[in-house]
Amino acid sequence: MIPAISTQHDLGHANTLGLPCVAERFTAPENLSELTQALETAYARGWPLTLLGGGSNLILPGRLPGLVVQPAMAGWWLEDGEGDSVRVHAEAGMNWHRLVMALAARGLWGIENLALIPGHCGAAPIQNIGAYGVELADVLEAVEVLHLADGRVTWLDRDACEFGYRDSVFKGALSGRVVIMRLVLRLSRHARPRLGYGDLSNRVGACASPLEVAEAVCAVRREKLPDPCDLGNAGSFFKNPRVAAEQAERLLAQYPGMPHFPQPDGRVKLAAGWLIDQCGLKGWRDGHFGVHERQALVLVHFGGGSADELLDVAARVAARVKGRFGVVLEREPRLPG
Ligand code: EPU
């Protein structure tokens, strides 16, 4: 079946930064056949293609030429199985937070710490979403993808996804080459609370259910992070930088209170939010954008701004951090194309 393709489609509400954007053409296929038709039509007519998920990690330009495709297959189901673990299938268009809460409510453990992360399931593996000591890679078993070059649908296991901190093969060798169709996660029926991060263990008891943990995570996030419905943002705007051990030592001699996390590869991860905060930028505003007043890692859009202005503000924040600490900040949200 040929899916409906709308023209001059407003994407202003389809990105959590709330940047104004008009797609020349837009379609939201609800199954593989519609997706394939949309891709074939784009290919036949020479339309450039942009894939859109929940728009929560994306910096949109004012206008997107060609065809924007937002996969809308949004089912999820449990695979019957015996024993402790349960397989969960989740289609790309499913809202991630709703999946987390539905599974936590069923008493399944594994992704409760990832509650309230905005976006669709299909985007989750791209940046290997992570929070409160858990990453998607910890529970992901496989990803079903459609290859744009020849329409083949294949499965990638966890190793093939090449997960790293906020990184995966979907940002590397497979960038722009596949459409993520479905995730398979492996969750556990038995209690596996991970309460080591921050003050989570003060908020829930050791016998908490996964739903109670998920609710505690939601409460922490609501205290620190702006709700995109109230204030445009894309969550963390920068990755936490990893620096050489010698550089971390030099910085620690100067700033003994600096949060630092030694990594398995010998490097040391620093907190970008702390670095920006130390530059006195928390709550700083210039025009339509600024640094969030409660979490300096989040850039916020007060409305009326553009992608170029945002990138300029971000470049100035990064330059201040580089100037003071000699640390380079890398952007987290992606530009389409
Ligand atoms: N900090 C400050 N000032 C700030 C922000 C942070 O001093 O304005 C300090 C904190 O006190 C703490 C350290 O920096 O000592 C780390 O802060 P926090 O625990 O808030 O976490 P984060 O490193 O800033 C990361 C993720 C978040 C995730 C939290 C919790 C990245 C880029 N961000 O933030 O992810 O929710 O840990 O696990 O890794 C997201 O990706 O959008 C996101 C929100």
Measured in Å, residue 2 CA sits from the centre of ligand 1 at: 44
**Would you say 279 and 321 are in contact if contact means Cβ atoms under 8 Å apart?**
yes
The CATH T-level fold of domain 6-69 is 3.30.43
Q: Which of 112, 260, 261, 274 to mutate to test the pocket of ligand 1 (most atoms within 8 A of CB)?
A: 274
| Ranges of each domain in the chain | 6-69, 76-224, 232-325
Active site amino acids: 166, 236, 332
Give, using CA atoms, the residue closest to atom 16 of ligand 1. 271
- CB-based contacts of 13: which residues, under 8 Å, 6+ apart? none
Which tokens sit at 184? 């398979």
Q: Does domain 76-224 have CATH number 3.40.50.720?
A: no
Measured in Å, residue 53 CA sits from the centre of ligand 1 at: 23
What value does the CA radius of gyration of the chain take, rounded to a whole number of Å? 20
pLDDT score for 1: 63
pLDDT score for 81: 75
CATH architecture of 232-325: Alpha-Beta Complex (3.90)
pLDDT score for 237: 98
User: Nearest 5 degrees, angle CA 243-CA 322-CA 232?
Assistant: 100
- CB-based contacts of 57: which residues, under 8 Å, 6+ apart? 119, 123, 126, 127, 234, 235, 332, 333, 334
Measured in Å, residue 148 CA sits from the centre of ligand 1 at: 35
The rounded distance, in Å, linking the Cα atoms of 106 and 109 is: 9
What number does the ligand 1 atom closest to the CA of 131 have? 38
Give, using CA atoms, the residue closest to atom 33 of ligand 1. 236
Give first-to-last CA distance, the chain, whole Å.
Answer: 27
Q: State pTM to two decimals.
A: 0.96
pLDDT in tens, the chain (337 residues): 667 999 999 999 999 999 999 999 999 999 999 999 999 999 999 999 999 999 999 999 999 999 999 999 999 999 977 789 999 999 999 999 999 999 999 999 999 999 999 999 999 999 999 999 999 999 999 999 999 999 999 999 999 999 999 999 999 999 999 999 999 999 999 999 999 998 899 999 889 999 999 999 999 999 999 999 999 999 999 999 999 999 999 999 999 999 999 999 999 999 999 999 999 999 999 999 999 999 999 999 999 999 999 999 999 999 999 999 999 999 999 999 7
Residue 163's closest CA among 148, 183, 147, 146? Answer: 183
